[in-house]
A and B are shown apart, each in its own frame.
Chain A
Amino acid sequence: MAEHTIGAHEETRRDFLYVATGAVAAVGAACAVWPLIDQMNPSADVLAISSTEVDLGPVEVGQQITVKWRGKPLFVRHRTEADIEEARAVPLEDLKDPQTDAERVEKPEWLVMVGVCTHLGCVPLADQGDFNGWFCPCHGSHYDTSGRIRRGPAPENLTVPGYAFTDDTTIVVG
C-alpha cells in the first residue's frame, strides 16, 4: 500500500516535469514566431515618411488637388461657399454614415480626404455623381460635397485623415 502511494507520487512528479518542459518550449516557440510576423508590419523607413506637408497656397477656390500620402491619393479641395452651404443643409437622417460637415473639416473652406472609395478601394472622380461631389466609377458610389456617402454600395464616408494647419496655407497630414 505504502509502496503504491510512493509510485503515484513519483508518477505525478514526472508528469509535472513533462508538462512544465512542454509549456516552456511552447512559450519559447511562441516568442520566436513574433519577429517573423512583425517583420511584415510597416518598417521604420515607411513610418518615417508617413506624414506629408501640403502647401495650400496655389489652390484656387473651387479647385481640387490630389497629392500622394502613404501611397494613396489625398484629395485637398478648396470649397466654394455654395459647396459648404450644400453640405451643411443635408439633414443627418438622410445619411448612411451620419456625420455633420463640421466634424469633417478643420476650416470649412478646406476639405481634406483620402481619395479612396470605402467600398473596394477605387479612386472616385471629382465633380461627378448625383450630389455634386464625387462618384466612384467602379461600382457606382455617390459622395456629396462633404465627401459623405449618399448612394451606392460604399458603407462609409470618405476617410478624413488626421491633419493640422501649421500656418494659414500649410497642412501636415498624418
Chain B
Amino acid sequence: MESLLNIGIVRWFDNRLPLLSYTQHHMMDYPAPRNLNYAWNFGSLAGLALVIQIVTGIVLAMHYTPHTEMAFDSVERIMRDVNYGWLIRYIHSNGASFFFIVVYLHVFRGLYYGSYKAPREVLWWIGLVILLCMMGTAFMGYVLPWGQMSFWGATVITNLFSAIPLIGTPIVEWLWGGFSVDNPTLNRFYALHYLLPFVIVGLVVLHLWALHHKKSNNPLGIDYKGPQDFIPFHPYYTIKDAFGVGVFLIVFAAFLFYAPNYMGHPDNYIPADPLKTPAHIVPEWYFLPFYAILRAIPDKLGGVIAMGLSIGILFLLPWLDTSRVRSATFRPVFKWFYLLMLIDMGILGYVGSQPAEGDWIWIGQLATAYYFIHFLVLLPLIGWFERPRPLPDSIAKPVLAAGPVPGVGAAHDKA
C-alpha cells in the first residue's frame, strides 16, 4: 500500500483525496489490541453479510415485481427461469437469517465483555440503531414475496401501531395507504426495503468511526497502556477475519445448498389470501423473543410498549450496569447472571414459536419479567455488591509472560 504512494500520480491523487492514506490508516495500520479472540470476528462477518444482502438484493430487484397480482409469481419466476435465480434468491433469504445470527453473536460478545461501557456508549447506541434498522428492513423484505406469512406478518406488525391511543388507527391507515395491507403497502415496503440497507451502510461508517476513535475493547476489558498493547490490524486481523469468513461461508453454504427452507416457513409458499389467516402465525426466528414479550402482556398497548422497551432499555445499559469492570472474565457473579439471561432469551424465543395457549402463557410471562428484572434490577445490584477479581496491569503483560515479543515495528515492516 505505502509503496503505491511512491508513484507520482498516485501521490498526486492521494494529496487531493486521501483515499489510499485513509485505507492505509484505518484498515491496515489501525492499532488493534493484541489479545482479541474469535468473538471479535462477528463484526467483520456482519459487514460481509450486509454486503451479500445488498448485492443479491439489487440483483433480485432486477427481476421482482412489487404488485400484489404479480409479486408471488415473479419470485417463482426467479426461482425457476432466471439464470442462477434460485441461488441468488436463496442466498438473500438465508442471508437475512445469517446476518441476524452474526449480529446477535456480535451483540452478545459486547454484552459479555462490557463493550457498551464508557467510553464506548455512542458506539453501542449506533449499534442498537443498526439493529433496529435491520429489523425494519428484514420485516419489510419478508413481506415482498407476498405469501401467507408475508401478508399476515405485515398485517399483525402494522397493527401494533393501532395500539397508540387516539391516533393509532389513522397512523395504521397511513402506513397501509388504505384500509388493509394491500398494493400501496407492498409498493412502499419495497421502496423502503431498498432504501434502508444504505442507511445501514451509513450507520456502519459511523459505528466504525466511533470504534476507531476510542479503539476496540478487548477480552480483558482494560484500557490500553501504550503501543506494546497493540498490533497493526493488517496483517494480523485481516487474516484472522478472513479465516472467520471462510468458516462462516462453510456454515452458510451448508444451509444454503442443503436446507435452504429450514429457517423459512412453509406457509410462505402459499400465495397471500386476505380472507384466510394461517392457523398458527409466527414471525421469522430472529423476532421470536420480542414476539414472546409482545404476547406476554395481556393488554394491547402494554404489549407493544413492553416490546419497544425490551430494546429501548438497552440504550441505557451503559448506566444500568454499575460495575466499573468491563469484562465478565473478572466478574464472578455477573458471569452467572449473563448465562441466565442467555437462557432466558432462549426460552423467550422458544415460547415465541409456540401457540399462545396453555402453559406457554405463564412461561412467557415469567421469562419476560426476568428479562426486565435482569437489566433493570439485577445488573445495577450486581455492580454494587460484586467483588471483581483483580485486573491485570496491561494487555501486553499476560502476553509478555507467555514468551518473547517481537516489536510491533517488525510486524509493520512486513506489511
Given a CB threshold of 8 Å, the question of whether A touches B is answered with: yes
Binds B, one of A2-10, A38-46, A140-148, A151-159: A38-46
- Decide if the interface of chain B is mainly helix, strand, loop or mixed: helix
Whether B81 lies near A36 (C-beta < 8 A) is no
| Nearest residue, chain A, Cβ from B243 | A21
Whether A45 lies near B88 (C-beta < 8 A) is no
Q: List A25-42 residues whose CB lies under 8 Å from chain B.
A: 25, 34-36, 38-41
Q: Kindly list chain A residues whose C-beta atoms are within 8 Å of the C-beta of B242.
A: 25
The interface bits of chain B over 54-87 (1 if a CB of A lies within 8 angstroms of the residue's CB, else 0) are 0100010011000000000000010011111101
Whether A39 lies near B63 (C-beta < 8 A) is yes
Cα-based distance from A34 to B80 in the complex (angstroms): 18
| Nearest residue, chain B, Cβ from A46 | B81
Cα-based distance from A35 to B82 in the complex (angstroms): 10
Q: Kindly list chain B residues whose C-beta atoms are within 8 Å of the C-beta of A41.
A: 83
Q: Kindly list chain B residues whose C-beta atoms are within 8 Å of the C-beta of A43.
A: 63, 77, 81-83, 85
Q: Kindly list chain B residues whose C-beta atoms are within 8 Å of the C-beta of A25.
A: 242
> Do A45 and B84 contact each other (CB < 8 Å), given the known contacts A36-B59, A39-B62, A40-B62?
no
| Nearest residue, chain B, Cβ from A40 | B62
With both chains docked as a complex, state the minimum distance between the C-beta of B377 and any C-beta of chain A, in angstroms. 49
Assign chain B's interface to a size class. 10 to 19
Cα-based distance from A36 to B61 in the complex (angstroms): 12
Centre residue among A25, A40, A41, A43 by max chain B CB count within 10 A: A43
Whether B82 lies near A39 (C-beta < 8 A) is yes
Centre residue among B55, B84, B87 by max chain A CB count within 10 A: B84
Cα-based distance from A36 to B82 in the complex (angstroms): 11
15 further A-B contacts with Cβ under 8 Å, apart from A39-B62, A44-B80, are A34-B84, A35-B83, A35-B87, A36-B59, A36-B84, A36-B88, A39-B63, A40-B62, A43-B81, A43-B83, A43-B85, A44-B81, A44-B82, A45-B77, A45-B81
| Nearest residue, chain B, Cβ from A34 | B84
Q: Can you pick out 7 interface pairs between chain A and chain B where the beta carbons lie within 8 Å of each other?
A: A36-B55, A38-B84, A39-B83, A39-B84, A41-B83, A43-B83, A43-B85
With both chains docked as a complex, state the minimum distance between the C-beta of B105 and any C-beta of chain A, in angstroms. 24
Q: Kindly list chain B residues whose C-beta atoms are within 8 Å of the C-beta of A36.
A: 55, 59, 84, 88
With both chains docked as a complex, state the minimum distance between the C-beta of A28 and any C-beta of chain B, in angstroms. 9
| Nearest residue, chain A, Cβ from B91 | A35
With both chains docked as a complex, state the minimum distance between the C-beta of A24 and any C-beta of chain B, in angstroms. 10
Cα-based distance from A35 to B90 in the complex (angstroms): 13
Q: Kindly list chain B residues whose C-beta atoms are within 8 Å of the C-beta of A34.
A: 84
| Nearest residue, chain B, Cβ from A48 | B81
Q: Kindly list chain B residues whose C-beta atoms are within 8 Å of the C-beta of A46.
A: 81
Cα-based distance from A41 to B84 in the complex (angstroms): 10
With both chains docked as a complex, state the minimum distance between the C-beta of B243 and any C-beta of chain A, in angstroms. 10
With both chains docked as a complex, state the minimum distance between the C-beta of B337 and any C-beta of chain A, in angstroms. 42
Cα-based distance from A25 to B242 in the complex (angstroms): 10
The 10 A-B residue pairs whose C-beta atoms are closest, nearest first, are A35-B84, A44-B81, A45-B81, A43-B81, A38-B83, A43-B82, A39-B83, A39-B84, A41-B83, A35-B87
Q: Kindly list chain A residues whose C-beta atoms are within 8 Å of the C-beta of B84.
A: 34-36, 38-39
| Nearest residue, chain B, Cβ from A35 | B84
The interface bits of chain B over 234-272 (1 if a CB of A lies within 8 angstroms of the residue's CB, else 0) are 000000001000000000000000000000000000000
